[in-house]
Structure 1
Amino acid sequence: MAIAFTIIVIISIIVFILTIIDNTFLFTNIRKYFILPLLDLGFWAAFIFLFLMVLQSLIAPIPSELVLLSGAMIFGFWWGVILGIIGSMLSAAITYYVSNRGGRSILEATGEKIGLADRMISIMDEWIENWGFWAIVIGRAVPVIMFDPVSYAAGISNIKPKHYYIATLIGSVPRAIFYAYLGYSMLDGNKPSFLETLPQDQFESVSKQFNTIFFVIFGVLVLMLVFANILSYLREKRKENKAK
């Protein structure tokens, strides 16, 4: 996990530096290699989007928040919301299944391969144990809480699958709406095809908005990881002191 996390941090620093040098760098590449190719696929773009939602939860070090954000830029607000909810449910179902069937040993092995924050999962595990249904609802609904650790933690908890899926659905709706709104706001009221022929001044404006949203989201996620590690460390210290 440490190696994968280090790689992600190094890549993020490089992207940050390149974005400072050229403030259109990040959006240029997202638009060129992700948004425009999906816009060209028409009907099939929805399936690729859902596939990416599932993929990022398993092996790709890509925040689901970034995929959700881009969804509204590709499909518009309402379709961005609908596909965001469906994608969230699919990724939540698969990660829950992996965790539930494999147990803690498989979860730890999977976490090492995909770079998940195991301490974040540990915090979520305890949270779900204490609060059950509502812990999952809040974990889904609050945009700054990492999405996938909630699924993995739920899989090793005692919560019933029916309650897990209902809580996931309830929490996924406001989360999808939030990120769809952010993505759609960058279209400035235009259709997604507007992104194909952006004038230079508007391109720079959208790039700045995208940079701001992306780095705020990424920064909050990093802070959540740091907070989870500190909290987990303090909890382990308390256990050690009690054992003495």
Structure 2
Amino acid sequence: MLDWMTIDNIETIVEKYKLLGPFFGIFLTFLESFIPVLPLFVIIIANAAAYGLFWGFLLSWLGTVAGSYMFFLMIRMFGKYRLFRRIKEQKQVKKLINWVDIRGFTPLFVLLCLPFTPVVVVNTVAGLSNIKKKYYFLTLLISKPILIFLISYLGSDLRDILTSPGKLIISAVIILIIWGIGKLIEHILNKRVERDLREIGKLRKHK
């Protein structure tokens, strides 16, 4: 298997992927919003390797934003049904929904900027919250480009990265650092959520 994974074979796969057309690249990133097991990281890399940094980034960005917003609208539309009411009553989900209702789009923006965030969870929480549709669409537009551009940059320089051990190591270290920063911010946000909700609870008791 490893013998087959040569630079030439990878480039052949990229060329075949490119033959499927740019709309296929948009469709895959769109689909990932509904099927989170799809490897978004690999899809973004493939788009950038096939179409270059700018177009690869644009295709991935459009597909991801469109898919996330469509999923959000579906949750907003069907959120009144029993299944979603049960989800809404789960402790962690309820906590996040309350925090979004209090803080608005800021926590959603931060969560969507974080690497390896389960976007389907964020979209679900947003759909079940009271955030306005236009605000969530704006949040998706401005939060998604950051991480997608970083991954697209790696994909656009794929051959150099794979053929240069130094660049490969640096890329791996950068990904690990981004992941570590994301986990740290996620931990801080969790603490912030608990603190804010405790303060709100105290204020309600005093009324």
TM-score (structure 1 length as normaliser): 0.57
Label 1:159 to 1:61 Cα distance change in 2 as closer, same or farther (>3 A).
same
Matched, 1:88 2:67: no
**Deviation for aligned residue 1:68:** 2.3
Deviation at 1:158, TM superposition (A): 0.7
Alignment partner of 1:143 is 2:120: no
Deviations 1:145-166 (A, max 9, x none): 5152221111111111111111
Taking the aligned partners of 2:66 and 2:43, their CA distance within structure 1 comes to 14
Given the alignment of the two structures, is residue 40 of structure 1 paired with residue 12 of structure 2, yes or no? no
Say if 1:122 and 1:38 are closer, same or farther in 2 by CA, change over 3 A.
farther
Matches within 5 A, 1:9-158: 25=2, 28=5, 36-37=12-13, 39-42=15-18, 44-103=20-79, 105-107=82-84, 119=92, 121-122=93-94, 124-140=96-112, 142-144=113-115, 146=117, 148=119, 149-158=121-130
- 1:57–1:86: structure 2 CA closer, same or farther, 3 Å change rule? same
Give the aligned partner of residue 192 of structure 1: none
Cα distance in 1 between the residues matched to 2:182 and 2:84: 21
AA partner of residue 88 (structure 1) = T
Query: 1:224, 1:147 → 2: CA distance?
Result: 14
Q: Is the 1:71–1:80 contact (alpha carbons within 8 Å) kept by the matching residues of 2? A: yes
Deviation at 1:221, TM superposition (A): 7.9
| Residue of structure 1 in register with 2:159 after alignment | 187
The percentage of aligned residue pairs carrying the same residue is 21
Distance in 2, Cα, partners of 1:32 & 1:209: 23
Q: Is the 8 A contact 2:72 2:124 kept in 1?
A: yes
For structure 2, the residue ranges without an aligned partner over 5 or more in a row are 203-207
1:124 and 1:32 mapped to 2: Cα distance?
A: 45
Structure number with larger C-alpha Rg: 2
Shift of 1:183: 2.4
| 8 Å contact kept, 1:145–1:224 | no
Looking at structure 2, the residues matched to 123 and 37 of structure 1 have their Cα atoms a distance apart, in angstroms, of 44
1:94: how far off? 2.0
- Is contact 1:133–1:164 with CA below 8 Å preserved after alignment? yes
CA contact (8 A) 1:186 1:209 kept: no
Structure 2 contact 97–125 (Cα < 8 Å) conserved: yes
Alignment-mate amino acid for residue 172 of structure 1:
K
Q: Which amino acid aligns with 1:129?
A: D
Q: 2:100 corresponds to which letter in structure 1?
A: I
1:163 to 128, 131, 135: 135
Native 8 Å contact 1:68 1:80 kept in 2: yes
- The question of whether the paired residues in 1 share the 8 Å contact of 2:115 and 2:179 is answered with no
Tell me: CA distance 1:220–1:65, structure 2 relative to 1, closer, same or farther (3 Å): farther
Q: Distance in 2 between matches of 1:69 and 1:100?
A: 31
Residue of structure 2 in register with 1:16 after alignment: none
What's the counterpart of residue 178 of structure 1? 150
Q: Deviations over 1:115-170 (max 9, x none)?
A: xxx94x55543442222122232222x23251522211111111111111111101
Q: Hey, what's the Cα distance between the residues in 2 that align with 1:129 and 1:203?
A: 48
Q: Is the 8 A contact 1:57 1:64 kept in 2?
A: no
